[in-house]
Amino acid sequence: MSPETIAAMFPRAANYHPAWLQASASGGANPLWLTEWLAGAMDLRPGMRVLDLGCGRAASSVFLHRGFGVQVWATDLWFDPSENCRRIEDAGAADGVFPLRADARSLPFAKEFFDAVISIDSFIYYGTDDLYLNYLARFLRPHGTVGIAGAGVRAEFPGEVPAHLREWWEPNLWSLHSPAWWKRHWEKTGILSVGLADCHPDGGQLWLDWHRRHFPDNAAEIRALEADRGENLGYVRVIGQRRPDARMDDPVSSIPAHYVPQPLLRSPTTEQPVRG
C-alpha cells in the first residue's frame, strides 16, 4: 500500500513525523493509525477524561489530546512513566496528558472517573478474562464508552489454526479474537451495549506494511501475513457504552482475618457409633 494511500486513510496520523512515530512505537502496530480509526467512531469532546489503558510510549495519548482536546491518563505497566513524561512534554501536551505506571488489574482511580476508556493493541493481554469488564467498567461513568482497537482475526477458527499460520502461531496468540467474539464477550455481562464491532477492510495489509517497514527482522510474522493475504488476520475495532442499569460487584481485595481454632481429627472415644 502506497504512503499516499495510507495518508489519505489516516490524515491526522499523516501529520506526525515518521522519526517521532518510530521512536514512540511500542508494539507490533502503528498506534496512530489504530487510534485515528477508533477515535473517529467515538464521541470524544474537549475536556473529557479518557483512560488510555496500556498506552505503551504514550503516542496514542499525545494523539488523543492534540487531536480531540481530551484529558488523557496515559497508563501502562511496562513502560517508564518518566520517559513518557519527557515525550509528552516535548510534544507540548503536558497540560492534558498525565503518565503513570499501573497494572490494568490494579488501577488507582475513583469510581466513575472517566468518560471513556481507550485501549490500543493492548486489551488482549488482560481483557479476555471473563471477570475483567466488571472491574474496568466501575471506573467509567454511566453511558461512558470503552473502545479497543488492535490485532485480531476476522472470524474464530472452527478447528485448528490454518496451515499457513502454524509456523508463526504460538499459544499466546489464542488471545486474538474476532469482532463477533468481543461483542458477545462484552454484552453477555449486561455491562456494555456494543454499538460497533468490525474489522478494518485493509487491516491485514496495514499490519504487513508496518512490519515490513519497521520490523523487517520479524520474518515468521511477515511470512504468515504474506501467506494469509488478509483472509484471517487483521485489525479489530470494538466500541461499547456502559449501560446505566449495569449491575457490578465491587472487586474483592481482601478477606478479613477470622480464625477460630477447631479440633483437627475426630476423637475415637467421643465419636463412637451408638449401639441400639
Rounded Cα distance between 26 and 140, Å, is 26
Can you tell me whether residue 220 is helix, strand or coil? Answer: helix
Q: How far apart are the first and last CA of the chain?
A: 91
Residues ≥6 apart with Cβ < 8 Å to 268: none
Taking each helix axis as running N to C, give the angle between helix 81-90 and helix 59-68, from 0 to 180 degrees, rounded to the nearest 10: 40
Rg for the chain (alpha carbons), in Å?
Answer: 23
Q: Taking a C-beta distance cutoff of 8 angstroms, is the pair 73, 51 a contact?
A: yes
Determine the pLDDT at residue 156. 97
Determine the pLDDT at residue 89. 98
Please name the residue that has the C-alpha cell 508494539. 27
Q: Which is it for strands 233-242 and 192-199: parallel, antiparallel or unpaired?
A: antiparallel
pTM of the shown model? 0.91
CA 113 to chain centre: 18
Please spell the DSSP secondary structure of 78-115, one letter per residue.
SS-HHHHHHHHHHTT-TTTEEEEE-BTTB----TT-EE
Each residue's pLDDT, cut to its tens digit, for the chain (276 residues) gives 888 999 999 999 999 999 999 899 887 899 999 999 999 999 999 999 999 999 999 999 999 999 999 999 999 999 999 999 999 999 999 999 999 999 999 999 999 999 999 999 999 999 999 999 999 999 999 999 999 999 999 999 999 999 999 999 999 999 999 999 999 999 999 999 999 999 999 999 999 999 999 889 999 999 999 999 999 999 999 999 999 999 888 877 778 899 999 999 998 765 555 565
Determine the pLDDT at residue 275. 61
Determine the pLDDT at residue 270. 58
Please name the residue that has the C-alpha cell 464508552. 145
Domains and CATH numbers, the chain: 3-242 (3.40.50.150)
Q: Which is it for strands 233-242 and 140-153: parallel, antiparallel or unpaired?
A: antiparallel
Determine the pLDDT at residue 273. 57
Determine the pLDDT at residue 134. 94
Determine the pLDDT at residue 3. 87
**H or E element, residue 192:** strand 192-199
Q: Taking a C-beta distance cutoff of 8 angstroms, is the pair 191, 243 a contact?
A: yes
